Chain A
């Protein structure tokens, strides 16, 4: 199951908090004082009743009244201070963890973030980040408070008779440690099962929504409803078990607390009978005992969530630890390296890390500036891999890819990429305006430049029919635009960037012949001076290219 030990994870988590130690310390101190103030209200009141009943407590009536009133008001203020500072740290951490997660993924992208996997990773991270925040905001302080406040209470009752402290200690251990520990394994299992079931139900629903068309057509609505019912019932089952477990925890804790009360009462009365304790002191001890379990109860409910937090933390750490396919130095500023006069592949061989089979074997070709090269071959023949290697998604095993005489492996990937525009089958559109989407490569471009690019990419007219033209927000994954339209946005992006090399990965697979024709015309007229390397299986697309290279089983040949 889990690879890292809990202690290791906890240590690493605590390293996150290290910079905030002063604020957390403040929060903890306020929390301890706040809890003590709450107990003081009760203790002071008990002493007051004892004092007015003529059992000398050593305090004046007026002094006790002031003490009780002050403790009551302080309690509110201290809790405010604890919560505010605690949340302050938590939200700072939340922002920090988001950034860390982003940076971790930034290193891994794009090589290790291709295809379907990205969706999973992203949704997990979103949840995990929130989980860890909860840990910081609501775990660290309660744990420390849950230790210190009971010790203070023990000191107080122990000052009357050390035996009281011993008895109370037993019950404190029971409520704060024994009961949660007893039920812990069960809680973890149940919690996990419940969450898993929740996740399955989620996937089922997403599946249903995405496949709604098919469900309706095949008349499977009823079956789907039935499955939904089953999922719902399962979910109810698990959550009922979980709920019962919580109920048991609560009931047992309450039982322990009341038992501690009568046990203390019994011993206090024995000491009273022996004349070692007066009635006022008896009342004070019982009152303090009754009101001292709050922080421990908070502690006992924690152990449930802790397992999830650790699992979430482990997933995030795992991501941060993953080695990127290509090391990049993010601190370096992008250098403008010169446009290459020739791109060369010399005996390039490559296999993906997870698969020993060679995708490319001794591939040789060269693309002088302005060359129009088409790569053809069956799916899986390694066409797209050549593009990915050029983009430095991966490092090659043997051979050399060079821009002029410079080996690109020795160059920062971002510098290489700054020379290349890419148009692929799938174009990711951000849920922002069309204008922002086009300008992504050059945010400083003027609107005129953008419109010119859009016109050249044959998408301007379409954009003008949209409700808010260039300010229209593209839907989820560009949902409001068809695949072909998204592709043309990608072309506009590339045109606006005006980079010397253009890579096209199956650029026309989603276009009809008319649009394909238009795109090819655009390529001919607008990218005439650029080096173009395209991957396509459509002869019509590659017809106009100067060089056609055919890949078969990783070997390249000229067509």
Chain B
């Protein structure tokens, strides 16, 4: 019945509010019974022609009191119902967020971002109705008819029995129909998501579709899908509406039956007019709670499906396990040591694909190491392993002689900075983005980092300087500016170990120049690993490793590698032919080209 046991465990701490909500509802029922009894009594008197003005006033005063009490109870109910889900919603949001942070990038690679967000924000909001409204109403609709029955059974037993007997017919009929609809529903939901997705993609890829002259056909397909979906929707809806119709027939039919029995009893003289009138006014109250429950049913379903998704997420296992066994005091010892990083016999496979093969490399403190190779040779995986996005399948990685797995992740990452080709810029100001790396950075420190990254001038031209808003995902900056801001942020982080992973593969020439200048400035003080497919960028490195298909095939300095006349030399030769170390201007100027002529 739409109650998830595990979700129920999460409710802990909210029970008082849930119970209070239910109690308020029951109080309201009690007050309603009083109100209707008083009213029925008075009209009964009218029927017996014994009513007078004082009894009318008495009735009016009591009902006036009932109005006030109900008014207060309505507020209380709304408040309690809301409070019952505050905690759980906050808690769930945090649990999910914490989980995502723990699962890290691996999970995101597998799962699409948009549905994840829907799950978290909207799914959690859907729980407000589930906890605040659906659950209390569920308990209430189970108890209210019984209370009404107990009250009415002495006054008009026949009607009371019939009314109570009709109540369970409603959930029974719903269950019966829903069971039939269940298979249809699953199909329906996947159809629904499929259509939404198709629509979304059609809009997103519209430019591409248009380029290939496919926009018209796509539109037609979209329409076809939409109409097909409409048909399947109507089928499901037909069933759902049948259950609603059944519910109405049972509720109104039951009410009518109860009243007709009361009327018959009145004819037979087994009940008083007051009793019959009481039934007339209270009969529908038997069914109201269930009908209201029905109106929360949809929201309740949403809550449940959201819960299922959330629980699935919470159950997800992280890619790596944090088994830091090193005590903080020991960590200081590593700091005192040189933190050379060593890969010993490291292999890594992702799914069926063997990506790294028995790798042995060492990165000595204070040196600049280059890692080159074609795309797909496994270079970036090395960076992922260094910062423990993944753990190696075989072999181990040590830092200062200590196994990486024994070092707390937080410590490791506070000493290591990775800059990739797509530095992510967060919504907010330039300062917000920089302060991610160092909360307490002063303006001076920030400007210093910006200077190294070649952004100081640009930021100074902005009216709001550091407080300039960069837009969602930094959309108000150019690609090169974003990357340089990312670099400035990394500089401000002041890590001991820097990894630059294809940092300039996505930027304009001017930015490329500035970024490499900045990297070599960093390299004078820090340990640096440069991952690149362009040899020119690592030419000055102390040591260069050449990768091919997950293997280190050569290593040494640029000169040594050239002398080897192997893989590196080959690539260097080819890149010399087509090399683009220098930005275009230099190249043209070197060749003494004249491009002033206009056609």
Contacts and interface: CB of A to CB of B under 8 A. Distances in A.
Contacts of B578: 513, 516-517, 520, 540, 543
A261 B353 CA distance: 76
B391 to A, nearest CB: 15
B367 interface: no
Contact of A365 (B200, B204, B508, B599): B599
Interface string B399-433: 00000000000100110111010011111000000
B306 to A, nearest CB: 14
Interface in A73-98: 73, 75-77, 79-80, 83-84, 87-88, 91-92, 94-95, 98
A498 to B, nearest CB: 12
Contacts of B486: 214
Contacts of B89: 232, 236
Contacts of B161: none
Given A102-B199, A214-B436, A247-B79, A94 B230 contact: yes
Q: Which one of A95, A391, A417 has the highest number of Cβ atoms from chain B below 10 Å of its Cβ?
A: A95
Contacts of A258: 35, 63, 66-67, 70
B108 A209 contact: yes
Contact of A509 (B117, B245, B506, B593): B506
B75 A248 contact: yes
Interface in B581-599: 583-584, 587-588, 593, 595-599
Interface in A167-203: 198, 201-203
B321 interface: no
Given A72-B249, A258-B66, A218 B200 contact: no
B439 interface: yes
A59 interface: no
A109 B218 CA distance: 14
B168 interface: no
B59 interface: yes
B340 to A, nearest CB: 21
B505 A510 contact: yes
A57 interface: no
Contacts of B375: 482, 484, 511-512, 514-515
A113 B209 CA distance: 13
B13 interface: no
Given A209-B100, A247-B79, A517 B508 contact: no
A396 interface: no
Contact of A212 (B71, B108, B267, B508): B108
B443 interface: no
A63 interface: no
A159 interface: no
A502 interface: no
B248 A75 contact: yes
A69 B253 contact: yes
Contacts of B583: 537
B252 A540 contact: no
Interface in B183-219: 196-197, 199-217, 219
B244 A79 contact: yes
| Secondary structure class of chain B's binding surface, majority of residues | helix
A80 B105 contact: no
A228 to B, nearest CB: 5
A122 B104 contact: no
Contacts of A443: 214, 217
B259 interface: yes
A414 B211 CA distance: 8
Contacts of A87: 233-234, 237, 241
A211 interface: yes
A73 B47 CA distance: 30
Interface stretch (A13-21, A44-52, A143-151): A44-52
A379 B98 CA distance: 41
B423 A214 contact: yes
A109 B475 contact: no
Contacts of B290: none
A364 B200 CA distance: 40
Interface string A49-64: 1001101000001000
A109 B420 CA distance: 32
Contacts of A422: 211
Contacts of A539: 580, 584, 587-588
B245 A476 contact: no
Given A272-B46, A440-B212, A52 B263 contact: yes
Contacts of B56: 265-266, 269
B230 A95 contact: yes
B74 interface: yes
A260 to B, nearest CB: 11
B242 interface: yes
Interface string A235-250: 1100110011011101
Interface string B467-504: 00001110100101000001001000100000000000
A76 B505 contact: no
Contact of B266 (A38, A49, A220): A49
Contact of B234 (A88, A236, A417, A558): A88
A428 B70 contact: no
Contact of A254 (B71, B475, B597): B71
B101 interface: yes
A115 to B, nearest CB: 8
Contacts of B249: 72-73, 75-77
Contacts of B39: 261, 265, 286
A556 interface: yes
B91 to A, nearest CB: 9
Contact of B439 (A38, A61, A223): A223
A479 B81 CA distance: 42
A87 B236 CA distance: 12
A205 B599 contact: no
A343 to B, nearest CB: 14
Interface stretch (B3-11, B120-128, B448-456, B554-562): B120-128
Given A80-B241, A514-B571, A417 B505 contact: no
A488 to B, nearest CB: 11
Nearest to B66: A258
A296 interface: no
Q: Which one of A69, A76, A202 has the highest number of Cβ atoms from chain B below 10 Å of its Cβ?
A: A76
Contact of A53 (B125, B273, B478, B506): B273
Given A76-B252, A206-B117, A255-B67, A537 B508 contact: yes
Interface in B36-87: 39, 42-43, 46-47, 49, 51, 53, 56, 59-60, 63-64, 66-67, 70-71, 74-75, 77-79, 81-82, 86
A98 B248 CA distance: 34
B508 A214 contact: no
B253 A73 contact: yes
Given A84-B238, A258-B35, A509-B505, A49 B205 contact: no
A126 interface: yes
Nearest to A252: B71
A23 interface: no
B206 A113 contact: yes
Contacts of B121: 198, 201-202, 205
B51 A269 contact: yes
Interface in A118-141: 118-119, 121-122, 125-126
Given A122-B200, A203-B427, A212-B100, 7 more contacts: A110-B206, A251-B78, A258-B35, A265-B39, A269-B56, A514-B375, A559-B595
15 contacts: A53-B266, A71-B256, A121-B203, A126-B199, A210-B424, A211-B425, A212-B101, A214-B423, A216-B413, A258-B67, A258-B70, A279-B46, A379-B510, A558-B598, A559-B588
User: Which 10 pairs of residues, A with B, have the shortest CB-CB distance?
Assistant: A247-B78, A512-B533, A76-B249, A110-B207, A251-B74, A559-B595, A95-B226, A72-B252, A211-B424, A80-B245
